[in-house]
A and B are shown apart, each in its own frame.
Chain A
Amino acid sequence: MLSAPNLDYELLAPIMIILGGALIGVLIEAFAKPAWRARLQLVISLAAIVISFNQLVRVRNDGSSIAAVTSVSVDGAGMFLQGAILIFAFLGILVIADQDNFAPQASALPGSAEEAAAIQAGKQQTEVFPLTMFAVAGMMLFPVATDYITLFVALEVLSLPLYLMAGLSRRRRLLSQEAALKYFLLGAYSSAFFLFGAALLYGYSGTISLNGLTDAIRGNTGNDVFLLLGIIFLSVGLLFKVGAVPFHSWKPDVYQGAPTPITGFMAAATKAAAFGATLRIFYLGLDAAQTSWKPFIAVISVITMIVGSLAAISQRDMKRMLAYSSIAHAGFVLTAIVSLSENALSASLFYLFAYGVATIGAFAIITIVRDSAGEVSDVNRWIGLGKKSPLVASVFSLFLLSFAGIPLTSGFVGKFSIFSAAYESGNIMLVVVGVLSSAIAVFFYLRVILMLFFTDATNDSISVVIPSILTRISISISAIFTIILGIAPSLLFDIAQDFAYFLR
């Protein structure tokens, strides 16, 4: 006879609440009047996120490695990242709520009479709210999953809604659809690699859990060919999601084509989730085989940092530039995986949070810099913005300074702690490359800031629209986090250190 599995609902509740919110969102789409939908969806989504976060805080001290038998391990690092993802989702949804960024009816042909009629009728594609919530649920499950089934399902649950949302931009719709196609094909390609890697590791160890994998590596019971090939294929899938070179080619295109609020949310939250799972797999599952993957990841980390920083210099589109900057940041976090120490883990947790809030804020600002045809992401047209809208330009500069890692912003603390952890663990070469590529990165961030403030405007068609109150809240919270974590990093750093553990 089968016995029911023993589930720890208290610990799984944060994910379930989000899924519940998403399902209510689907029902609202089916039954509520169109005029009410956007408002209802917003309230339900935000409420679910707040309740879920509250539940997460309540159970923060009783982590368990058997929250769902051997499939889910809700431990310190997992809970920290779940909390970070919930905060990103909260800030992201505030920006997403500005429906002016989304196609009124995604099924209408771009430029057709049907689309014009949909705009005329004021239609809204409010499905983005439940889609976002499903993605959030997948993102929360990904960093705590400990077997291949859960990992793969979480990976797809977080990716599938994002593929769709990438294609929903209101303006430049062909570009947006193209971004969705690229993201989908390359994303599905990488999940296939991930799955095949999981199959090979199952072949190696005979179990689908990460713990079983560790035991098999320690006991040296399997065929090493399967282990090595499995590690490589699994890493390809994960490195694609975090956007490491040479698996980064989707990132600039998708960041540019997707609706900007989605780009911001995706850049912050997907990265946290994907790095959560990557850290768990390498720290916990493959820890015993570190001599076989460390050189591989170290090389990827080095070329990711260099290529990301160098390619960002030549970008003329603000969203593409931030995409390359995001690639470079992925390289910095990868050094933490190579360092493989508790300090590196807490540093990367802090880094992912600091980078995420600044990213959401930066992309939220891009949504409000517009001309008559919609938002302007061409860097050259931002010239002189500092004279027209000093406040917006200063906050944007703050986020850029944080990306660059200038002292007194959260980015500096993140970079410093990640590099010092790498130094302690003896990876001097990575630290040198990291500092050099940070120096290159400072160049292009400062160039943008100089353009904003110290160059006279050449044309007057660009303007900053008055942001909706929700977007304004989101930008303000991001800016406040960025400053506070720069001035008093220990507020979050202590928490990150307390939570920097994985449970087997």
Chain B
Amino acid sequence: MTDVNPVPAGASTGAPAEYPPSTRAGKGLFGVAGTGDTSGFGGLVRQRPPVVTPPRPFGGYLDEVYDALEEAYPQFGDAIERVDVHRGELTLHIAPERIAEVCRVMRDDPALRFELCSSVSGVDYLGSDERRLHVAYQLTSMTFRRRVRLEVGVTPDAPEVPSVTSIYPTADWQERETYDMFGVIFVGHPNLTRILMPDDWEGHPQRKDYPLGGVPVEYKGAEIPPPDARRTYQ
């Protein structure tokens, strides 16, 4: 992947870069980079998250989890698309069609024992990932007191992901919420209906191309634009 906002020469203030170079934080006060336009009329530009494949060892228990899964799951090479380690958290990017299998191994293997699926939630990486609709599964091992995140990405045209409700029944409502908010279709879910929005709602509100729908507000004679139409600082 390429950086959508390459830093022009001389735009950086030369402060020591503390974070991976694909992020703009840590460069100069308030991370000024690019054109240095602070007027805000550059428009709201979303930036891509960094893709940094970490070197082994990952640190802590992360290596043990990774190795145990590799040993317990024969299709490991096919299923794991990418590995991220950020702030001491391990993210395994799984091929969407394999997620249920991986979850079953994660739950049942004696060396893994991720008994609890803490959370299932969606993230829309519009503009930075071709398979922009991501679903993140936060698994918790109560036996070993570990956490790991599994992530899958699908396109809005083919948003099918196998449901993990047969492995983690708690994912039932959380998958319904992800369907409701992002339009990810969980194949095999017993009752995939909207949960927070009304049944006849159109669209999936948490997608990044779904507008916030704010209205301008008048305050002391001046018109304050809605939050999604306000100028942003670049």
B is bound to A: no
Interfacial residues, chain A to chain B (CB-CB below 8 A): none
B residues bordering A, Cβ < 8 Å?
none
